[in-house]
């Protein structure tokens, strides 16, 4: 063998060795996860697979738009819990949603608890706040005040007919259309 082939062979072995090391150990500075940090899918490690059906007697009254809205709500709930690699598949023909969530290494996941949390109905409420601020409730820059709710409900979500996003002086605002009950 000539010397050039030996150098090429050594360079290729070094590159293969580097990639094997990165695959096993990772390189967190560049965001490359190692084998122990990767979250495997439901087909490899297992996880939760459930089918959610609407809680209604008349399945024909559910539209595709309502199903897509439910998918968005489920995605937001899972994202809020730090689950980003789920599979959520709406089935408009059978009026159901199939949800698959892989287990996370090192976490104790109770499947029934996860399913119960996904199926809960969210309730929107506007509560009165205590305007007396405490020093501990300012953010780090001391520019944004944080108020504590008193628990007294002023408006419930059932009293809102519609909500739209808008702008006032270039700043985003939410405009609410109240029902006759909520307008009082």
pLDDT in tens, 93-123: 888 889 888 876 666 677 788 778 777 777 7
Q: Which residues contact 130 (CB under 8 A, 6 or more apart)?
A: 147, 148, 149, 150
Q: Is the model's pTM score more than 0.75?
A: no
All structural domains of the chain with their residue ranges: 1-38, 47-119, 125-178
Taking residue 78's Cβ as centre, other Cβ atoms within 10 Å add up to 19
Q: What is 47-119's CATH number?
A: 3.30.70.3400
Q: Which residues of the chain have pLDDT under 70?
A: 1, 38-41, 56-62, 104-108, 133-146
Cα gap 87→67, rounded to integer Å: 15
Query: Under a CB-based contact definition with an 8 Å cutoff, are residues 88 and 97 in contact?
Result: yes
């Amino acid at each position: 063998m000539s010397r050039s082939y030996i150098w090429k062979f050594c360079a290729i072995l070094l590159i293969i060795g580097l990639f094997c090391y990165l695959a096993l150990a990772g390189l967190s500075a560049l965001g490359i996860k190692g084998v122990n940090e990767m979250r495997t899918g439901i087909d490899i490690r297992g996880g939760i697979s459930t089918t959610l059906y609407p809680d209604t007697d008349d399945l024909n009254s559910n539209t595709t738009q309502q199903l897509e809205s439910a998918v968005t709500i489920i995605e937001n709930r899972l994202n809020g819990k730090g689950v980003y690699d789920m599979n959520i598949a709406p089935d408009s023909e059978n009026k159901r949603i199939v949800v698959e969530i892989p287990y996370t290494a090192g976490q104790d996941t109770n499947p029934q608890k996860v399913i119960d949390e996904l199926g809960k109905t969210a309730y929107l409420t506007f509560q009165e706040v205590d305007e007396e601020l405490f020093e501990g409730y300012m953010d780090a820059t001391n520019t944004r005040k944080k108020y504590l709710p008193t628990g007294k409900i002023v408006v419930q979500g059932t009293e809102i007919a519609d909500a739209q996003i808008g702008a006032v002086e270039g700043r985003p605002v939410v405009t609410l259309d109240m029902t006759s009950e909520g307008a009082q």
